[in-house]
Amino acid sequence: MNKKRVFSGIQPTGQIHLGNYLGAVKNWVDSQSEYENIFCVVNSHAITTAQNPVELREKTYQLASMLLACGIDMKKSSLFIQSEIDEHPSLAWILDCNISMGEMNRMTQFKDKSLKNPTNVNVGLFNYPALMAADILLYQADGVPVGEDQKQHLELTRNVAMKFNRDFGECFKIPEPIIPKVGARVMGLDDPNNKMSKSALGTNHAIFLLDTPEEITKKIKKATTDSLNSIVFDKNRAGLYNLLNIYQILTNKSTEAIEKDFEGKGYGLFKSAVAEVIIENLRPIREKYQELSAEKGYIEEILKTGTQKVRPIAKATYDKVKELVGLI
């Protein structure tokens, strides 16, 4: 029985933090035996904001190394760099010509990012969803893991694929959203009402995968909680709930077991336990990353192999699209 194909992409901007790992990357790693996975470092998406070219290249390889350190297995999955396959922007152009301005204008991320960076509101940022759709549709993906902030873009991808199939002939699979069972939203330690982010200001907002044990302990100790003493899963107590959610994902313990373990105990002991479990889970990742990052030639070979593996899929899809729209 053939496995369903899943496409996932991540931008090489900033360090991977605990929210990225628990909300996405850990689920990617854990599902490698369940799906045929295609993982992509989407560096072309990164240039919608100003990038230093030297730093962007370096961050691209760093991210690839980190994904491998987290457990992406090239025997089970494919990993490649988006810009190495020219069919991505080529298909995006054809999709651009089949997406209405009205649909693009409804994309809330464009509005949000434009407000955050008003001095660089470029056409690429506006057309970002078309390139994202091309990323997915090129590989005839059955599913795409998505968080809350990407649901709208996937819906656009589904709509443009269905419209294209209707207008030009059957071509694209219609991808389904894959919603993680747990860990879809890890919140900021200093502001548990907002999702943990690479770009947020504040030294105690996020835990990064390369943080030292001392840094992790310090950040967890300063994490926002409340003045109540009971340690229970209560969504109305956002700070505590966020820490409990992190602890639960990393320990695989039930809600009942965790509440029993910390019954009658204070925040100090609880936070120490959370810090310890984060440190122990991230230790092998940090050690593997340090080992891999010293072998750039090895990473380049892995990425080259990944590109060679997926390029025929992208080419076959794009060639069919060109034929259907009359470009060949």
For residue 144, the surrounding DSSP H or E stretch is strand 143-145
- Count of H-run helices and E-run strands, the chain: 14, 5
Residue of 132, 129, 89 lying closest to 105 (CA atoms) = 129
Whether 222 is catalytic: no
Q: Yes or no: say if 41 and 13 are a contact pair by the CB < 8 Å rule.
A: no
Whether 173 is catalytic: no
Up-side HSE of residue 97: CA atoms within 13 Å toward CB? Answer: 10
Q: Supply 305's token pair.
A: 């192999």
The size of the chain, in residues, is 328
Up-side HSE of residue 317: CA atoms within 13 Å toward CB? Answer: 28
Look-up: residue for tokens 């457990």?
71
With vertex at residue 84, the alpha carbon angle to CA 82 and CA 88, rounded to the nearest 5 degrees, is: 55
Active-site residue among 4, 76, 163, 198? 198
Whether 76 is catalytic: no
Q: Yes or no: say if 242 and 51 are a contact pair by the CB < 8 Å rule.
A: no
Q: Cα(227)–Cα(188) distance, rounded to whole angstroms?
A: 18
Active-site residue among 26, 113, 173, 219? 113
How far apart are the two ends of the chain, measured CA to CA in Å?
35
Q: Supply 200's token pair.
A: 């947020």
Active-site residue among 4, 76, 195, 288? 195
Q: Cα(311)–Cα(78) distance, rounded to whole angstroms?
A: 11
Q: Cα(129)–Cα(153) distance, rounded to whole angstroms?
A: 6
Tell me if residue 199 falls in helix, strand or coil.
Answer: coil
With vertex at residue 198, the alpha carbon angle to CA 303 and CA 206, rounded to the nearest 5 degrees, is: 115
User: DSSP code of 41?
Assistant: E
- Active site positions, annotated: 113, 195, 198
